[in-house]
Amino acid sequence: MSRFPTGPKGGTAWWGLVPRFLTGAAAAAGIGAINGIGNLGGGFGPMGIAAIVDLTGSTRAGLVFLILVSLLGLAGTFGLRALLRDRARSSETPEPAAHGSTRTRQEQ
């Protein structure tokens, strides 16, 4: 979890995303999933960097790996933002009438 406050009450941005998608027990599971992924990243990130440094013999390659994974996360964040924006737009627009007519069969 980030040490830098980004939310309105000093929380990180991830916790604010959960209620947009989930409620109740599913929200609790979503928060647990975020926590679990963070814990895995804390373990596998350094192991991945160490494996690449051992494989190539260069610390630069390990740092490039770190940059690439960070950019992948950034792209995923922007993708999620676009998905949320599209969902908000689709829920605001009413569905068009079937076959271009608003009259019922009884009115015709």
**Where residue 107 falls among pLDDT bands split at 50, 70, 90?**
low
**Alpha helix (H) residue ranges in the chain:** 13-21, 24-56, 59-92
Q: Say what angle helices 59-92 and 24-56 make with each other, to 10 degrees.
A: 150
Q: Are 12 and 5 in contact (CB under 8 A)?
A: yes
pLDDT (tens digit per residue) in 25-50: 888 888 888 888 888 888 888 898 99
The whole-chain average pLDDT of the chain stands at 78
Name the one residue in this structure whose structure tokens are 């830098």.
4
- Indicate the range of 23-37, 66-80, 82-96 predicted with least confidence: 82-96
With bands split at pLDDT 50, 70 and 90, how would you rate the model's confidence at 8? low
What pLDDT sits at residue 106? 55
- Which range (19-28, 49-58, 67-76, 85-94) has the least confidence? 85-94
